[in-house]
Amino acid sequence: MGERIERDALGEVRVPEDALYGAETVRAVGNFRITGRPPRTAVVRALAQIKEAAAGANAKVGALDTEIADAIVQAARDVAEGKHADQFLVDRYQAGAGTSLHMNVNEVIANLAEELLGGRRGEHKRVHPNDHVNMAQSSNDVFPTATRVAVLAESGKLLAALDQLAEAFDGRAEAFARVVKSGRTHLQDAVPITLGQEMAAYAAMIRRARDRVDETGRTRVARLPLAGTATGTGFGAPDGYREEVIPRLAELTGLPLVTADDLIEAVRNHGDLGEYGAALKAAAVAVGQVTDDLRLLSMGPRTGLAEIRLPEVQPGSSMMPGKVNPSIPEMVNMVCMRVSGAEHTVALAVAGGQLDMNVMTPVIADELLEAIDLLAAASRTLAEKCVSGIEADEERCKEYAEASLGLATALRPALGYAGAADVAVEAYRSNRTLKEVVREKKLLPEDQVDEVLEPVRYT
């Protein structure tokens, strides 16, 4: 492969002759061999959309030649559509503020635009990565903006997955509406409940978590630092650019983007992304709590609760024949733990911002997008391969409900708290049901015993 020689602020760099990227990308690839994974598509797409919006805004206010702006717009659209994905090589762990990936995008778009105007890649006679593609911009306002745009764009799949999961629980709630069972508090017998009511509660938990993620995104993450340039003062941006660039970006992305009221604060403080990470963690906690319950309720099949049966998706043991485990909920629990860890990383990165900007944005972007991807995939899988196929063991549920000492609460109106407690203790110690003790001691008229101690009455 041939090479071309390019120069940056540190001197000459050899660049593959047919590469759309340039000197700064080559240096970054050599410096940051960390994960071996290319940048996330969502971030590259968001950066390209910012470049298109900025070129249009700069041309509108008279700061950028319209022919150059049109070429940048076309090149940026190609990048946003994923046409040159192999040209983005910078590792996800890179120089602070995302400068390396930002310049990778600037270089690719500049070379594409140069070729559109009849030049050759690497020449930069008409279109320069910094002077034109990056006009009125800094990594300090662009990369945090790209992070927010990418997070909001990708959040749609998570919201849809959580909706799907909640709907799956709705279906089970309807199917199990009349399946009465023992409630359990402190993991001990409690007053009756229906399995349908428990499933409906799971649906409500998921929806509340989903709405928190959505609201945090729309009201916090959508607030952009773009046009603040290096420190939030807007230094280097022409008059009118700030008013033009955000509406253009909002139209391009279809997202509810707004300019931050205080650009200096927005450039230095990524607390809103920390809040979004917390909302993701809260969603993971809710999903994890639900899957913990599914594992408990399905425990058995002979020696546990076994009130529900989960779909059998694969053999569960390399040693014990016939064993089937709750594999899907187990996987989901692991994902929820990973998402919770991502929130902690984001919080540390937000706190790691110093003085007039935060250099930790790349890890914030990577962790939030990883959490979105994982939780969305796990929620869809849980809905499709587990929840939608849950079956109830109605006889076992009924047996537990009638045997539950929590039903002693139904005796309080007639016997008082202390009297009902005496019945419960004696039933437990003598291994009998509440009905047997009540009948033996004639504590209620015979024709009322079955009615008073009928579990379904109290659900």
Residue 381 has pLDDT above 70, yes or no: yes
Catalytic residue set = 186, 317
Give the residue-averaged pLDDT of 328-356.
97
Q: How confident is the model at residue 455 (pLDDT cuts 50, 70, 90)?
A: confident
Amino acid 1: pLDDT? 65
Q: What is the mean pLDDT of residues 35-39?
A: 94
User: At CA 60, angle to CA 59 and CA 63, rounded to 5?
Assistant: 45
* pLDDT at residue 436 greater than cutoff 90: no
> Which residues, other chains included, contact 423 with Cβ-Cβ below 8 Å and sequence gap of 6+?
408, 411, 415, 434, 437, 438, 441, 443
Which of the given ranges, 249-253, 301-305, 312-316, 453-457, has the highest pLDDT on average? 249-253
**Is the per-residue pLDDT at 129 higher than 80?**
yes
Q: What is the largest CA-CA distance in the chain?
A: 101
pLDDT of 70-107, one tens digit each?
999 999 999 999 999 999 999 999 998 999 999 999 99
Q: What is the pLDDT of residues 252-261, one digit of tens each?
A: 999 999 999 9
Name 295's Cβ contacts closer than 8 Å, sequence gap at least 6. Answer: 326, 329, 330, 333
pLDDT score of 398 more than 70: yes
Q: In this structure, how many other beta carbons lie within 10 angstroms of the beta carbon of residue 106?
A: 26
Q: Does residue 59 surpass a pLDDT of 80?
A: yes
The pLDDT tens digits for 136-156 are 999 999 999 999 999 999 999
Cα–Cα nearest to 126, from 141, 137, 116, 138: 116
Calculate what percentage of the chain has a pLDDT beyond 70. Answer: 100
Which of the four pLDDT bands, split at 50, 70 and 90, describes residue 117? very high
Task: Name 154's Cβ contacts closer than 8 Å, sequence gap at least 6.
Answer: 42, 369, 372, 373
Residue 452 has a pLDDT of 83
